[in-house]
Structure 1
Amino acid sequence: MTAASNRTVLVLNGPNLNLLGKREPHIYGSTTLTDVEQRLHALADELGLTVEFRQSNWEGQIIDWIQEARERGTGILINPAGFTSTSIAILDALLASERPIVEVHVTNIHKREEFRHMSYVSKAADAVIAGAGPHGYELGLRHLDTLLGNAQPSA
């Protein structure tokens, strides 16, 4: 099955995103990861996509999921969180995935501490959405729909 014919998107969330809405709400807001997941499922239904939503604090688990996406032909929407600027292993897995990839960040990582500005994941991503808050996930899913060949890009 080719990536264009598969209507599944794997949404991967990195470390501490299980605390979204609870951890530093002045930075990340009050929307929880469960809220984000519910919004994505609703949007996926509208777009005719299937979303598999996952979160792990373990780098190896995220790599296993990326490798699974390679075998299943899914698109990947990823918020690598704390692994953004540290994980060459996640970058390597994404590069090997041969799948459409959208990287998303709740905050604008370029307006934060300097160490957050560099993203290894961006080197594999087809698009990066940062600073749109939890809505960035929805923007990312819409873009993946386009990358999967089922929608027309907007001008």
Structure 2
Amino acid sequence: MKLLIINGPNLNLLGTREPDTYGKESFEDYFSKLQFKFRETELSYYQSNIEGELIDRLQQADMEFDGVILNAAAYTHTSIGIGDAVKAIGIPVVEVHISNTFSREQFRHKSYISANAKGIIIGFGLSSYDLAINSFLIK
């Protein structure tokens, strides 16, 4: 199984950005733990702050991976283009959010991704990524 984790804007700042909301661990450190924990799964990681680059990577993933774990961050609530890309590709996408978006500002309650995602995992901190990986491994 080959899975790609795609993180959107500002998630490159994990570990320093709003640690009360997002924790104190960088995603790179956490990703190393995921690779160790899920040794039999080939995990790759991509992060960009640029909407078009996220769309390009989703389209490329369709030919390279069995699934995508997508945390589009703020673009979740604003990007019809990312939502359309999720709909257009032929592999499943699990939408992930570190925080509980429904306990935050009202504008974070809308997702342009959810309707076309295999599933949604929200609010379990970085463990949301573990849960998403497991969702691909459960038969």
Q: How many residues align?
A: 139
1:42-121 alignment to 2 at 5 Å? 42-45=36-39, 48-121=40-113
Structure 1 segments unaligned to the other structure (5+ residues): 1-6, 147-151
- Cα deviation 1:87-119 (Å, max 9, x = unaligned): 110111111112111111000000000000111
Q: State the AA in 1 paired with 2:19.
A: P
Q: Which residue of 2 aligns with 1:40?
A: 34
Q: 2:88 and 2:33 mapped to 1: Cα distance?
A: 29
Higher-Rg member (1/2):
1
Deviation at 1:74, TM superposition (A): 2.6
TM-score by length of 1: 0.86
TM-score normalised to structure 2 length:
0.95
Distance 1:121 1:79 in 2: 10
The reply on whether 1:130 has 2:122 as its aligned counterpart is yes
Identity of matched residues, %: 41
Deviation at 1:145, TM superposition (A): 2.1
Deviation by residue 1:56-91 (Cα, 9 ceiling, x = unmatched): 001111111110111224300011101010011011
